């Protein structure tokens, strides 16, 4: 049996876990959802969802990963009691990670394309619709994303993924602060920040709450084992609630700062905040085209976006790789080649979904991207979080005592006895209730 790989440092673990959490969810999806759901009220509910739901579920996922010393495809089986049948969740985790990469790698390709266009100064005809309807651009940049990711992952854990992510995350945080200072000096900064951070309670409804929960799980990559794999690479020196708080704080900082970069710019240049998925692309491109030195600010902005998106692609592809290697016994390089081809094939649906391979799964205008996002965000993440809570906190699964022993091993913040009713009852009830409401009100 090959010895399980380990991360070289605690900072490596935090940067890697945060890198998985920080990505398109923070800098692409969070700002456009905030714009569509009315600004400050959505941000407030989102932060509450992170604290009440995200923190307990992340602690559970790290605990299951560290205790099992296995990838998500085997972790439930290894921890279940005799006669229990939790192994089905392993297959769901594997499929859900593939479904996530089926659209995430394409969005990352779009970001790399915008970065290249700004870097070369070819921004005159840049637009979201021309880009997504161009099959050549989509397939080329999807290929770039997948090839770069799996080349990095073909090296060992410390030499490849951990080293690259530490540098990328450090650069990401520096770039964000530079861009924020620039945005806060714009004319519309005050109006933009008011829309973004001052809640309008009249705009909060059931759909806003469901959207905030789904976004909290999406941004933290919770429920499908994406965090559990990094738990399995940890030693027992630190307790898991404290580490979860570190990751969530870093993730939330990046999401909030992404809005501070974008909304002052939106209000300064009079662009729609509720533009949806194109907000990042059309809005920010028009902002930079109108700004002094805009080409270079745009290059910096999309470079930061590339780092954010690639950190998640690397982390989730590492998860897929670990699961496939555990099932097959393959070495890293061979598994990278097979997994890379499989991810690319899945993602071709999204890459060609606006041109050669159109498919309208839901309301008019929906496409493959919406289908994969529905599979992951609306279904797999909340169902996975619900299952984790039942598995960790009840006698039907691993059980509360086993979970607590694992989560509280090491130095740092511990799960307290008063938290048991929150984790055992509140989390699963709220998650399943919002999940059912979300399906009932979904724009079919």
Closest by CA position to 230, among listed 412, 2, 5: 5
Q: What is the pLDDT of residue 287?
A: 75
User: b/e map of 185-212 (b: 16 or more CB within 10 Å)?
Assistant: ebebbeebbebbbeeeeeebeeebbbbb
* Highest-confidence segment of 3-12, 48-57, 256-265, 295-304: 48-57
pLDDT at residue 311 greater than cutoff 50? yes
Gap between the Cα atoms of 386 and 276, Å rounded: 28
Q: Write down the pLDDT at residue 10.
A: 66
Q: How confident is the model at residue 106 (pLDDT cuts 50, 70, 90)?
A: very high
Specify the pLDDT at position 369. 93
Cβ atoms of 299 and 289 within 8 Å: the answer is: no
For the stretch 407-421, pLDDT in tens is 999 999 999 999 999
- Using H for helix, E for strand and C for coil, what is the string for the chain? CCCCCCCCCHHHHHHHHHHHHCCHHHHHHHHHHHHHCCCHHHHHHHHHHHHHHHHHHHHHHHHHHHHHCCCHHHHHHHHCCCCCCCCHHHHHHHHHHHHHHHHHHHHHHHHHHHHHHHHHCCCCCCCHHHHHCCHHHHHHHHHHHHHHHHHHHCCCCHHHHHHHHHHHHHHHHHHHHHHHHHHHCCCCHHHHHHHHHCCCHHHCCHHHHHHHHHHHHHHHCCCCCCCHHHHHCCCCCECHHHHHHHHHHHHHHHHHHHHHHHHHHHHHHCCCCCCHHHHHHHHHHHHHHCCCCHHHHHHHHHHHHHHHHHHHHHHHHHHHHHHHHHHHCCCHHHHHHHHHHHHHHHHHHHHCCCCCCCCCCCCCCCCHHHHHHHHHHHHHHHHHHHHHHHHHHCCCCCCHHHHHHHHCCCECCCCCHHHHHHHHHHHHHHHHHHHHHHHHCCCC
Percent of the chain with pLDDT over 70: 93
Name which of 112-121, 231-240, 352-361, 408-417 the model is least confident about. Answer: 231-240
Question: Which of residues 11 and 196 earns the better pLDDT score?
Answer: 196
- Find the radius of gyration of the CA atoms of the chain: 21
How many residues belong to the chain? 444
Residue 1's pLDDT band, with cuts at 50, 70 and 90, is very low
Dihedral of CA atoms 115, 116, 121, 122 in degrees, nearest 10, equals -110
Q: What is the mean pLDDT of residues 351-377?
A: 92
Kindly tell me if the per-residue pLDDT of 143 is higher than 50: yes
Query: Mean pLDDT lowest for which of 113-122, 174-183, 196-205?
Result: 174-183
Closest CA relative to residue 179, chosen from 304, 349, 60:
304
pLDDT for 120-132, tens place per residue?
998 888 889 999 9
pLDDT in tens, 144-162: 999 999 998 887 655 556 6
- pLDDT of 425 reads 97
Q: What is the mean pLDDT of residues 10-38?
A: 76
pLDDT at 52 over 90: yes
pLDDT at 253: 87
Q: Residue 385 and residue 429: Cα distance in Å, rounded?
A: 11
pLDDT at 297: 84
pLDDT (mean) for 219-238: 85
| Average pLDDT taken over every residue of the chain | 88
Ranked by mean pLDDT, which of 12-16, 19-23, 375-379, 400-404 comes out on top?
A: 400-404
For the ranges 55-69, 168-182, 278-292, the maximum mean pLDDT occurs at 55-69
Q: Who wins on pLDDT, 9 or 34?
A: 34
* Cα–Cα distance measured from residue 377 to residue 213, given in angstroms and rounded to the nearest whole number: 10
Residue 5 — pLDDT band, cuts 50, 70, 90?
low
């Amino acid at each position: 049996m090959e010895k399980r790989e380990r991360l070289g440092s605690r900072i490596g673990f935090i940067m890697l876990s945060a890198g998985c959490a920080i990505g398109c969810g923070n800098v692409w999806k969070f700002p456009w959802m905030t714009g569509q759901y009315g600004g400050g009220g959505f941000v407030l509910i989102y932060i509450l969802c992170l604290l009440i739901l995200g923190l307990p579920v992340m602690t559970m996922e790290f605990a299951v990963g560290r205790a099992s010393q296995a990838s998500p495809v085997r972790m439930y089986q290894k921890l279940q009691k005799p006669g229990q049948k939790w192994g089905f969740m392993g297959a769901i985790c594997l499929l859900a990670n593939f479904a996530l990469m089926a659209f995430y790698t394409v969005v990352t390709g779009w970001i790399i394309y915008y970065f290249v266009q700004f870097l070369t100064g070819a921004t005159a005809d840049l637009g979201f619709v021309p880009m997504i309807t161009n099959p050549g651009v989509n397939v080329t940049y999807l290929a770039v994303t997948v090839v770069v990711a799996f080349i990095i992952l073909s090296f060992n854990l410390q030499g490849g993924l951990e080293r690259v992510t530490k540098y990328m995350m450090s650069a990401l945080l520096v770039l964000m602060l530079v861009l924020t200072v620039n945005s806060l000096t714009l004319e519309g900064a005050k109006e933009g920040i008011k829309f973004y951070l001052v809640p309008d309670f009249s705009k909060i409804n059931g759909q806003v709450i469901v959207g905030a929960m789904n976004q909290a799980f999406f941004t933290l990559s919770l429920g499908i084992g994406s965090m559990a794999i990094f738990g399995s690479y940890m030693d027992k020196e630190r307790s898991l609630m404290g580490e979860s708080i570190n990751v969530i704080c870093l993730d939330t900082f990046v999401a909030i700062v992404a809005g501070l970069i974008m909304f002052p710019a939106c209000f300064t240049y009079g662009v729609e905040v509720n533009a949806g998925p194109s907000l990042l692309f059309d809005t920010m491109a028009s902002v930079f085209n109108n700004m002094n030195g805009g080409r270079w600010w745009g290059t910096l902005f999309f470079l930061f976006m590339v780092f954010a998106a690639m950190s998640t692609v690397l982390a989730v592809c590492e998860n897929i790789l670990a699961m496939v290697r555990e099932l097959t016994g393959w070495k890293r390089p061979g598994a990278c080649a097979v997994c890379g081809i499989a991810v690319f094939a899945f993602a071709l649906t999204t890459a060609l979904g606006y041109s050669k391979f159109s498919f309208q799964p839901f309301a008019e205008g929906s496409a493959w991207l919406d289908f994969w996002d529905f599979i992951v965000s609306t279904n797999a993440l909340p169902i996975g979080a619900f299952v984790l809570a039942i598995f960790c906190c009840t006698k039907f699964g691993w059980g509360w005592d086993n979970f607590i022993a694992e989560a509280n091993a090491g130095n740092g913040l511990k799960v307290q006895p008063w938290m048991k009713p929150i984790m055992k009852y509140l989390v699963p009830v709220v998650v399943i209730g919002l999940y059912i409401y979300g399906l009932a009100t979904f724009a079919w």
